């Protein structure tokens, strides 16, 4: 734990935990862990409603003063715990940093997507379900999580300076995870993922998996660094999270069931829907990052067209998705369950319009933009949750 003094008279404390934002610190002075009795009031003179890190979702969130008071007591307790059992405390901090390094909200999307596609393939072929395939399904999910971890990890390694401005709560930018440890993790994820896929799913799926890793690499790593080019960045994200994930998982599941690959109307729908949705995520993910992107001359649509225009563009594309879903159900009633497909997407579209209006009324503050981006990810999760039942 460290004590930090700013030029103002306020006293603040920083702990190696996702609740603290290291961007608030001007100068750090170590504290003797033996000092157990002190209780501090956490406060940021620059921003009294400081942004904390949401431990479970991976998104930044506003932190109330009540939470700060509660956390100050917890911090003092942690000082005593660190003094009594440093190895255990260090392991806990490292584990937490590794989890944040994985970007939990992207892990959730990957896990929900793969689970929904496997469930859909099984629903279409219930007579072929075997308990022996359970291990194979879990190994596939683990490989996808490894691939996800590699892609988001390699991005953080090459975006440290940008993240210190845009996402100071991320573990490398916050100093909670060393660059050497980050490299170890991403190399482990890449090797483990390829080995799992290669030993369980054959050469074709392995080649698709490696293609995803390559695209994730050229997105972040110089000299390619395709994230500098908006169109290329959008295409990479839409390809990996949209087409490759949905097609690859469905193909692998049918192969495991002993069936040749064959598109079904629901799978065509979800692949198209999520590919367009991934494009929206690629556009709106830059909304909270405009400050750092401009500082380091990263060209995005948000920096070129403005936050308001991109928020409207992303909302418009998602509305096209929802309208298309309703029309697909109307024109192909034999392929979809109308009683779920139409009302579910109408409700989600109404929620999107409401959230876009809230963002407009908040005048596009950074907190409101973060809430809007978080809501878009929630819409993404909901689509995969209802997919097996449409």
Give the tens place of pLDDT for each residue, 229-255: 888 988 999 999 999 999 999 999 999
> Residue 373 to residues 104, 110, 241: CA-CA distances in angstroms?
14, 17, 17
Domain boundary among 214, 229, 262: 262
* Number of domains making up the chain: 2
91: in domain:
no
Does the residue 313 lie in any domain?
yes
Last residue of a domain, one of 216, 232, 262: 262
Query: Does residue 247 share a domain with residue 303?
Result: no
Q: Are residues 254 and 214 in the same domain?
A: yes
Are residue 160 and residue 258 in the same domain, yes or no?
Answer: yes
| CATH code of the domain in which 255 resides | 1.10.357.140
Same domain assignment for residues 169 and 214: yes
Residues 142 and 284 in one domain: no
Contact in structure between 379 and 387 (CB atoms under 8 Å): no
Task: Supply the angle between the helices 179-200 and 134-157 in degrees, to the nearest 10.
Answer: 150
State whether 106 and 246 are in the same domain.
yes
Give domain status of residue 94, yes or no: no
* pLDDT tens, N- to C-terminus, the chain (390 residues): 434 434 343 333 344 444 444 443 343 444 444 443 333 333 333 343 344 445 444 555 544 444 433 433 344 444 444 444 678 888 888 899 999 999 999 999 999 999 999 999 999 999 888 887 889 999 999 999 999 999 999 999 999 988 888 889 999 999 999 999 999 999 999 999 999 999 999 999 999 999 999 999 999 999 999 988 888 988 999 999 999 999 999 999 999 999 999 999 999 999 999 999 999 998 888 787 777 777 776 767 777 888 899 999 999 999 999 999 999 999 999 999 999 999 999 999 999 999 999 999 999 888 999 899 999 999 999 999 999 999
- For residues 281 and 380, membership in a common domain is answered with yes
DSSP for 117-170 reads: HHHHHHHH-GGG--GGGHHHHHHHHHHHHHHHHHHHHHHHHTTHHHHHHH-TTS
Are residue 253 and residue 286 in the same domain, yes or no? no
> Cis peptide before 289, with omega less than 30 degrees from 0?
no
Residue 4: DSSP 8-state: E
Tokens 């995870």, residue? 177
Domain co-membership, 270 together with 216: no
Query: pLDDT of 67-116, one tens digit each?
Result: 433 433 344 444 444 444 678 888 888 899 999 999 999 999 999 999 99
Element housing 234 (H / E) = helix 230-237
Torsion of CA 129, 130, 136, 141, to 10 degrees: 40
Considering the domain architecture, whether residues 218 and 268 belong to the same structural domain is answered as no
* Residues 384 and 285 both lie in one domain: yes
**Residues 162 and 277 grouped into a single domain:** no
Please report where in the chains the tokens 């192969």 appear, as a residue. Answer: 255
CB 369 within 8 A of CB 248: no
- Does residue 92 belong to any structural domain of this protein? no
Host domain of residue 315: 263-389
Nearest to 269 by CA among 207, 216, 345, 343: 345
């Amino acid at each position: 734990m460290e004590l930090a003094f700013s030029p103002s008279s306020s006293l603040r404390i920083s702990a190696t935990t996702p609740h603290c934002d290291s961007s608030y610190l001007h100068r750090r002075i170590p504290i003797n862990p033996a000092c157990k009795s002190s209780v501090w009031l956490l406060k940021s003179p620059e921003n009294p409603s400081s942004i904390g890190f949401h431990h479970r979702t991976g998104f930044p969130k506003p932190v109330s003063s009540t939470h700060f008071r509660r956390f100050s007591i917890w911090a003092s307790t942690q000082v005593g715990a660190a003094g009594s059992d440093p190895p255990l405390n260090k392991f806990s901090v490292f584990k937490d940093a590794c989890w944040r390094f994985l970007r939990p909200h992207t892990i959730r999307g990957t896990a929900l997507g793969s689970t929904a596609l496997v469930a859909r393939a099984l629903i279409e072929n219930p007579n072929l379900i075997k308990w022996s395939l359970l291990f194979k399904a879990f190994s596939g999910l683990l490989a996808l999580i490894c691939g996800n971890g590699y892609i988001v990890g390699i991005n953080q390694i090459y975006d440290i300076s940008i993240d210190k401005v845009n996402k100071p709560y991320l573990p490398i930018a916050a100093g909670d995870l060393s660059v050497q440890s980050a490299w170890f993790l991403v190399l482990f994820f890449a090797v483990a993922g390829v080995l799992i896929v290669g030993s369980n799913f054959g050469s074709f799926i392995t080649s698709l998996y490696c293609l995803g890793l390559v695209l994730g690499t050229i997105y972040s790593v110089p000299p390619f660094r395709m994230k500098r080019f908006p169109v290329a960045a959008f295409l990479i994200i839409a390809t990996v999270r949209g087409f490759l994930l949905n097609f690859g998982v469905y193909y692998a599941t049918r192969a495991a069931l002993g069936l040749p690959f064959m598109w079904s109307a629901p799978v065509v729908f979800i692949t198209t829907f999520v590919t367009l949705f991934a494009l929206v995520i690629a556009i709106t993910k830059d909304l909270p990052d405009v400050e750092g992107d401009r500082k380091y001359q990263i060209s995005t649509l948000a920096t070129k067209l403005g936050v308001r225009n991109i928020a409207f563009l992303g909302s418009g594309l998602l509305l096209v998705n929802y309208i298309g879903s309703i029309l697909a159900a109307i024109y192909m009633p034999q392929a979809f369950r109308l009683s779920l497909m139409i009302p579910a997407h109408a409700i989600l579209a109404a929620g999107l319009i409401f959230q876009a209006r809230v963002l407009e009324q908040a005048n596009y503050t950074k907190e409101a933009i973060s809430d809007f981006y978080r809501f878009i990810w929630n819409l993404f999760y909901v689509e995969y949750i209802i997919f097996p039942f449409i």
